[in-house]
Chains A and B, each alone.
Chain A
Amino acid sequence: MTGSKPTKAVPRTIRIARQAVASGETKAVAIAERCYATIATEDANINAWLSLSKERALEQAARIDKMAERGETLPPLAGVPIGIKDVLTMLGAPATAGSKILEGYRPPYDATVVARLDAAGAVLLGKLNCDEFAMGSSNENSAYGPVHNPRALDRVPGGSSGGSAAAVAANMAVATLGTDTGGSIRQPASFCGVVGLLPTYGRVSRYGLIAFASSLDRVGPFTHTVEDAATLLGVLAGHDAMDATTSLEPVPDYVAALDQPVKGLRIGIPEEYFSDGLDPEVRAAIEKAADDLRAAGCTLHKVSLPHTRYAIPTYYVLATAEASANLARFDGVRYGLRAANATSLSGMYRQSRDAGFGKEVKRRILLGTYVLSAGYYDAYYRKAQQVRTLLTRDFLQAFHSVDAMLTPTAPTPAFKLGEKTDDPLSMYLADIYTVTANLAGICGISVPCGNSKEGLPIGAQILGKHFDEATVLRLANAVEQAQG
């Protein structure tokens, strides 16, 4: 920035990276090479990256540099190095979904979000580690080894987008894409001390996302700053003919929205999110964020989301049911792993799936198959769909009297690697504050709001109305500004 001391660090924000490229101060190729150099030295301890797409990245960077040299108008993400969670397809790169069953698979097309980043001039560095098929809250379910939290290497980075959060936190990329089915963007953002945005269901295309639970899955960005999240959402959002669930709702200028003051906004504090099990240091950090918003002119209001305690059981019925159907496609026929010596078709299916799927994926397929099976469908699946309606109505009701809500993102800071791996239920409870937003389809964000005494990051979650990302971003920006 100062120009006096040339730095070899990866730029921290989109604005800094783009301006450096546009002004000719730095080449996009040099920024990409700095990212790869950082990955080469740092990632041995973190394990965030599963594959690097250097050829595609450097070609794009060279193209941007030529445009800059010729004085052409640069696209919004010109030269900005971005990593992609490995559940999204990207031409020229493997897509493993963190699973052995897709080892060696190279998808023949770009996901819509990948194509949109590419068209906006982003330099796509490679693919990021995650829990297998995005099923997990700690990134310990990856077939390619766990990711370590860059802020404390003996801690989990959160999951399932652990690699995406860690890559930004360790300055190996300016931004990354993740996906969030029950908290998989917001919770790792909270654990790693970065910003993670969950767009409204239908705001961002899922075409090219290897599906986990189609009615819950979302794609969103990880960044260092709220402004960068706003910039990326502007690129990613909008209708896509390839995903019939994307909305025609117009895409506003999210970055411009950040300039509007938050004074007068009504913030709901849902009492159910501050009950037993909330770490005292997390509670104190969220209360501080609430004070900061009040100081910025917001009004705080106690609200109730009375069905909150039913969110985790509802989520684990619906998400596993949808997963059991979505993961039926991995059968060894068209792509990915096929068991070598099977003599019958059903034997081939079973042996391929047995060899390819990890334990948590099998557990969820079994649970999902069980709740959908004859005799149990009404008792579990239909019941959970009905409770989903109640959970959604809780939000619609509360949003009559408030503009957004402030909650913790996760009940604790990052826990230790191995701490919860033997107890699936206690792992599932790590998602207690995040799953409801997926069930209700609303948008949200996790923004850093402090550290524990041990120096572990704490994230504040702001939840907003359907398609009201602008308000969520404005409030997150206010929390961020107050951190100083």
Chain B
Amino acid sequence: MDSTHHASQQKVSLEQVLRVAELAQLELTLDEQTEMLRDLNSILGHVAQLNELDTTDVPAMAQVKEVLDQAAEDSVKIFGSTLRGDQSRPSLDRGTVMEQAPETDGIYFKVPKVIER
């Protein structure tokens, strides 16, 4: 592909990799830091191709249904999805759920201390 002419531009710095890792709650070893810096720059270099396209008046698409609804006027009408009624219903039994917890007192999930002094 023609990503090579973008690849020389470093888009992401090591500082940014570390900041993003912090946001994502990930720890990275020194080796991983180097590798992720290289890979993110390579992948984002490829992604930069998207800038060739003028998308000024193009709506953003988050879900398929939005586009189908817009297209429906000139093609076959697609039946829409529905939301279920806003009514309370039985959920999973607490004991069943807690069986999977790494640490629990049977009622709550237990975690290490949250507030540091």
Q: Which residues of A contact B (CB under 8 A)?
A: 105-109, 201-202, 215, 239, 241, 244-250, 307, 309-310, 312-314, 316-317, 324, 328, 331-338, 342-351, 353-354, 357, 359, 362-363, 365-367, 369-370, 373, 380, 382-390, 392-393, 396, 399-400, 424-425, 428-429, 440-441, 466-467
Contact = CB atoms under 8 A, between A and B. Distances in A.
B55 A370 contact: no
28 contacts: A107-B100, A108-B96, A108-B97, A109-B92, A201-B64, A215-B64, A244-B81, A246-B81, A247-B80, A312-B46, A314-B50, A317-B47, A317-B50, A332-B102, A334-B100, A336-B102, A343-B113, A351-B27, A357-B26, A363-B39, A366-B26, A366-B40, A386-B58, A386-B61, A387-B53, A396-B67, A425-B3, A467-B78
A428 B65 CA distance: 26
A362 B36 contact: yes
B14 interface: no
B52 to A, nearest CB: 8
Given A105-B100, A249-B78, A367-B40, A392 B61 contact: yes
Contact of B100 (A106, A344, A357, A359): A106
A313 B49 contact: yes
A250 to B, nearest CB: 8
Interface of B: 1, 3, 12, 16-17, 20-21, 23-28, 32, 35-36, 39-40, 42-44, 46-51, 53, 55, 58-65, 67-68, 71, 75, 78-84, 92-93, 96-97, 99-103, 109, 111-114, 116
A141 B80 CA distance: 37
A380 B62 contact: no
B64 A441 contact: yes
A95 B55 CA distance: 41
Contacts of A343: 112-113
A334 B109 contact: yes
Given A247-B79, A247-B80, A343-B113, 11 more contacts: A201-B64, A313-B46, A313-B50, A333-B101, A335-B100, A357-B26, A370-B12, A396-B71, A400-B75, A424-B42, A425-B46
A316 B92 contact: no
B32 A359 contact: yes
Contacts of B44: 367, 370, 380
A307 B53 CA distance: 9
B46 to A, nearest CB: 6
A385 B61 contact: yes
Most buried by B among A359, A362, A373, A440: A362
Contacts of A350: 25-27
Contact of A396 (B12, B50, B75, B113): B75
Contacts of A347: 112
B17 A333 contact: no
A353 B26 CA distance: 6
A337 B101 CA distance: 9
A201 B65 CA distance: 9
Given A106-B100, A248-B81, A386-B61, A392 B67 contact: yes
Contacts of A250: 79
B16 A244 contact: no
